Structures are given as structure tokens and as C-alpha cells.
Structure 1
Amino acid sequence: MLEHGGNLNDAVMRHGIARAEWLDLSTGINPNCYPAPLLRDDAWHRLPESSDALAVAACAYYGAPRMLAVAGTQAAIQALPQLRLREKGVSRVVVAAPAYAEHAHRWQQAGHAMREIDYADLQKALDTCDVMVVCNPNNPTGARVVPDVLLGWAQQLASRGGWLVVDEAFGDTTPHLSVTGQAGVQPGLIVLRSVGKFFGLAGVRLGFVAAQDAVLESLQEWLGPWTVSGPAQEIGIAALCDEDWQRTTRERLLADGERLNRLLAGAGIQASGSAMYQWWAEPDAAGFHDWMAQQGIWVRLFTRGAGGIRLGLPPDEAGWQRLQTALQGWSQNNNKSVERIA
């Protein structure tokens, strides 16, 4: 399997630092999660019947006419290439890159003719593919594509039986970029949404797919029964309906994202990203990753291409100060190295 952030057990094993002593910034997940409510007494006992209340809450929150609940967007990411293969055969697939690596991996694994294309070249690649996959905003770089462009691409692809898959897992702080509301109307448009990122509920394993009815019905049949647990459904309903929490959290995340960007700039790092993470092409990515690990700070290392680093948000002021100290140490050490070379 591919390596992902959040692998804190690996950090403990590699560096011998107790789990409780780590500052884990290796994911882009909200570090202050939604407070899960008390569950019904039978939540762990009964089979999880599909919840109309969950579907209604999701459609209201995401602004879609219909949505299918899935066990995290990863479930849909794995299923869609197989579903496409069954219904359309081997397809020419373009995945915007760099991005969440599971997209390219799963399309290739299913046997499709997959290519990874830089965001700047997606328009030129449109005529040479049957399926295009775009993360918007992108994880890890924060690259964005405006809705009008995405909808134009979806229309072109649909005219020849194609799909545009838009992963909006990190879209909760950028609602103006979302095309979820058009997914039930625009043929060929499939949008993925996640409860794990903005709500910080990654362990719940809950996500949603917005698309036309035929696609959702085929996907539901492919995934089978009981895909989302009863407890996940209850927690999801509470989170999706809590407008006060959503509003204050969105404001805090946007402010914290700007703070992280400024903190990195103060250490001489020009980064980009979204409200919940920052990324940059670090010349010595492995060295930075190792330095942070020595300070008990776990960050996400990207080794493909030129290499890069992604940082999530610290959970509290102590975490911010700890990160600032580590960044200052890295900057000072790098400056000394440059002076010695000179």
C-alpha cells in the first residue's frame, strides 16, 4: 500500500520517541475535531440501515440534490475505477498531479491507461482522455480550478461518455470553488466530499459522492450493503447540522492557515496550500523531515518528483511555539551550511 500521513506508529518505531510526545502535523486534518455526541444505546448492536436523515443533512450542507454516503472518500476512490471498467472498459485517464496518490494508484491498478498531468496542462490533455480526476483545492499544493472551467471540462467529457471526478475533500473552507451542487445536473460530473478533513473526524470513515442518479445507483450496488456504520451515521448527522460550529471552525481554520503560511515565510519558506495545510518543494525534503522528527514533530514527506513537504496545523498554542522553534533551528542550521560552503 501507499504511504500516507497520520502514520504516527511508524514515527515511534523509527525514532524511539513515545507516541504521546509527538506533534503530528503529517495530515491536513483539522486538529480540533467536532465533539462527537452520545450515541443511541443500540448504535453498536444493530446493522446500519441507510439513514434518510444523514442524506438530508449531507444534501443541505453540501448543496447537492442527492448524495451517497460512503465509508470515507477512499471507498469511492477505489470503487470508481472498477465501476468504470465494468461499464465502459479500459479508459484513458488523466489525473492532475501532484495530488493525493491514491487516485492515480487506483486507476492504474484497475488496468486503465493512466497518466499524471500537471495542473497547468490539464486543458491541453482534455481531448486525449475519457476520465479526468482533479483535486480542488489540491492536496498537497493547494492548486485550484475555478468552477466554470471544471463544468466546461465535465460537459466536454460527458459528450463522449466521459467522467470528470472532482475530489473536494478539502473544499469546506472554499465553498466558492465547489461544483457539488451541479453534480446531480451535469452529466459525467462526480464529486467526492469528506467529513474527515474539515470536521476532523477521519476515524469515523464517512464521506459522500454527488453525481447523477444512475452513477450513484451503480456505485451503491457495487459497494454493497452496510458500508457506513451506525455510529458514523449518527455522528455525521450531528456534525453536518451544527451550523454554529461550522461557522466558527471555518473562521478559525482560515486564520490558522494564514498564520502557518506567515510562520513558514519567516523561516524563509515560500509555501502554498489551503486553510488546513501548507506545502512547498523543499530542496532537502528528506533532511527537513529528519530534522523535524528529531524535534518530535512528524511532517509529511513527498519523495516523488522534486520532493516536497506538507505541514498541517498545530492543535494549540504550545504546538505553534514548538513548530516555530523547530523552524528557526532548521533555518539557522541551513544558513550555517551555506556559509561554510561559501
Structure 2
Amino acid sequence: MSEARIWHGGDLDEARRLFPQAPEPWIDLSTGINPIAYPVPPLPASLFTRLPSPADHRDLEAAAAEAYGAADAAMVVAAPGTQVLISLLPHLRPRSRVAVLGPTYAEHAHSWRKAEHDVIEVPSLDRLDGASVVVVVNPNNPDGRLLKREDLLDLAEDLRPQGGWLVVDEAFADFDDGESLAPVLPSNAVVLRSFGKTYGLAGLRIGFALAPEPIATKLRSALGPWAVSGPAIETGRTALGDRKWLEAARTARAADARRLDALLSSAADESLRGTILYRLLESPRAPELFQALGEHGIWVRRFQYSSQLLRFGLPSTEVEWQRLETVLARFCYKELSTSLSLSKKEKPRPA
């Protein structure tokens, strides 16, 4: 039996299959990637023609250690994206009972199950049911739930006597890292950090694991040499050191998130949630809204576990903002007109 396909954002082939008559170009709001990318620096041709050296890798890991506040660059492992690290981690320990705090990014539970661990998905940290590995996404994807650092440190300590691990995926922490474990990493914890989402350069495929020496060594061995390309190393090293750009991007994207909330509020039945890079809408009308957006060439993220949720990334240009605003306004007007029409029909006639 084939494995069920896990839905991810960014699949415009699927968008075109579902909505073949939609206008081009598509507006892809289905990912949580910064729509305003870091300006890629000029790259010498030699980066494309020679293999990166171990020193190049160490330079990238040192830049990541400084950016994330890690105590030692030796605990930072650079990889071609965090997805590779998510897939590798389950193979670094014996079969275990694994609790994934969910609903969340589905690849975590999938990867541990694929490696034949006993996986449970739990709604809260008081339902761990004897797990020796706990996986948390913080802030959570897609609802933005943020756990306190102190609570995570306590959890790591609780897991220590049984040789347990705490895995914390901080893919969306760059713009709100006040609760990050990176600066105070316990000796039995692994923190995952994504580069591409924050810097809008997902195609470079750069991710990092921050881990104690035994786990870091195993990860490096599993990744093998030249895990990250020369152009990615140089771009990542430069971007991670550009704190001025990061602060400006944080301010600008926070303003964009507030603007998106204002547009979505009329279509949402519950309070909007999420992070600076995406907003989560919940409504029984979500399937109809997904349809309306798709017919107008706007692709947003659906979820297999709930038809009432839609995740919206940030538009990248004023033209995209205006297209989204127009479709949302038409949808809400149509919904209001339908509601008023139904209420008139249901109004009792006078005796």
C-alpha cells in the first residue's frame, strides 16, 4: 500500500490541476516564506566550480551560532535544509516511544514512524504517555502556539533520567526568538533552525541543527561531506551576519501581518493566529473561500486534518495585495448577500 501524500505549501502544479481556468500569474500564499528575499550577494564563479572546504562549512556554522546565540559553533550542524535533519534524527537512536505535540508540521511524525518508532500525536505536554522522545514545533506551524522556554527546559530535564530527547523545531523563530532554546541548549535537546523561510531563499536549501556533541557528531557523519553547496554557504554566511537587514525585515513583515489580519478578519469566525510570516484563518466557510481564491489564481494552504483551516502567507507586491483584497471583498459580499436572502425567506409571514 502506498503512503498517503502529505500536503505541503508551494505546490503550484496542484493549484493548476485543481483550477485550470484560473488567471496567471498565480499568487502563491501557501508557504510561510518571507516574500521579500535577502538580496543575494555577487558570487564568484569559483563557488560553482570547486567543492566547499571543511573551513567553509565551519564558517557557515560559526555565523549560525552567532545569529542564534549558541554557546559553541561546534554544536551547530549545517545541512541542505531542515527537512533532511528531520528525516535523519529518527535514525540516530534505538526504537523509542515518540510524542509529537500537534497538530503540527506533519513530516515530524511521519519521519519517526517511517523509522519504525512508536509515535503518538498529543494535544498537550501533560499527555506524553511515557514517551522518551518529545517533538515540539515552537512557534507551532500552523497556529503559532508559543511555549515558554522555562517549560521546555523543565521538559528536557524530565526526559533526562531515561536518556530521552527533546527535539524543538524553531523554523519560524527568527522573527520572535525570545523563547528559543538555542542560547541555553540542554545536553539532551536538539534545536532545528531554518534559513530559507526568514531570508526568503528557500531554494538555497540551508538548515541547521543545534545539538550536544554526541548527536552533532552523528548528524555530521550521516550527512557526509559537502552537505551544503558553496554558493549556499557564502549566501548564508553573509545573510546570517546582516543583523540590520533582519531587524528591518522583522519590522516590515510584522506590519504586513497586521495588514493581512485586517483583510482576513471579515472572513474568519475565530481569532486569527499564526506568526509574522503566515496567518491562520478558521471558519466553516473555509472550503468555499479556498474555492473562490483558487478560481482567481490565489493559492493558500489547506490542511488534511481540518477543512475549516486555511493558512495565508504574505503577499509580495502591492498588486498581489490588491488582488487578494478584491477577492476577499467579493467573497464576503456574496456570503453576506446569501445570508440576507436566506433570512428573508425564513422570516414568518404576518397572520
> 2:91 & 2:251 partners in 1: Cα distance?
39
Which of 40, 61, 84 matches 2:44?
A: 40
- 2:12 equivalent in structure 1: 8
Gaps of 5+ in 1: none
1:21 and 1:28, CA in 2 relative to 1: closer, same or farther beyond 3 A? same
> 2:110 & 2:334 partners in 1: Cα distance?
37
Q: Does the aligned pair in 2 maintain the 1:261–1:272 contact within 8 Å?
A: no
Superposed displacement of residue 130, structure 1? 0.8
Superposed displacement of residue 307, structure 1? 3.9
Superposed displacement of residue 266, structure 1? 3.7
Give runs of aligned pairs for residues 169-180 of structure 1, distance below 5 A: 169-180=171-182
- 2:116 equivalent in structure 1: 111
Q: Does the aligned pair in 2 maintain the 1:8–1:19 contact within 8 Å?
A: no
Residues 276-316 of structure 1: CA deviation (Å, up to 9, x unaligned): 10113332333221110111101001121454100000102
Q: Does 1:308 align with 2:309?
A: yes
- 1:295 equivalent in structure 2: 296
Superposed displacement of residue 222, structure 1? 1.3
Give TM-score, length-normalised by structure 1: 0.93
Q: Does 1:194 align with 2:217?
A: no
- 1:252 equivalent in structure 2: 252
1:305 and 1:12, CA in 2 relative to 1: closer, same or farther beyond 3 A? closer
Give the counterpart letter for 1:103 in structure 2.
H
Number of equivalences = 333
> 1:48 & 1:167 partners in 2: Cα distance?
27
Superposed displacement of residue 129, structure 1? 0.6
1:236 and 1:14, CA in 2 relative to 1: closer, same or farther beyond 3 A? same
Give the counterpart letter for 2:211 in structure 1.
A
Q: Does the aligned pair in 2 maintain the 1:155–1:187 contact within 8 Å?
A: no
> 2:182 & 2:317 partners in 1: Cα distance?
32
> 1:337 & 1:167 partners in 2: Cα distance?
43
Give TM-score, length-normalised by structure 2: 0.90
- 1:330 equivalent in structure 2: 331
1:17 and 1:35, CA in 2 relative to 1: closer, same or farther beyond 3 A? farther
- 1:264 equivalent in structure 2: 264
- 2:84 equivalent in structure 1: 75
Q: Does the aligned pair in 2 maintain the 1:104–1:114 contact within 8 Å?
A: yes
- 1:134 equivalent in structure 2: 136
- 2:101 equivalent in structure 1: 96
Residues 192-231 of structure 1: CA deviation (Å, up to 9, x unaligned): 0011111011000001110111110011111212211111
Please tell me whether Structure 1 or Structure 2 has the larger radius of gyration of its CA atoms: 2
> 1:19 & 1:267 partners in 2: Cα distance?
23
CA RMSD of aligned residues (A): 1.7
> 1:145 & 1:20 partners in 2: Cα distance?
40
Gaps of 5+ in 2: 344-351
- 1:240 equivalent in structure 2: 240
Work out the percentage of aligned pairs sharing the same amino acid. 42
- Residue 197 of structure 2 aligns to a residue whose secondary structure is coil
> 1:207 & 1:139 partners in 2: Cα distance?
17
Give runs of aligned pairs for residues 225-236 of structure 1, distance below 5 A: 225-236=225-236
- 2:346 equivalent in structure 1: none
Residues 222-274 of structure 1: CA deviation (Å, up to 9, x unaligned): 12122111111011011101122111111111121122122211444531000
Superposed displacement of residue 159, structure 1? 2.2
Give the counterpart letter for 1:105 in structure 2.
H
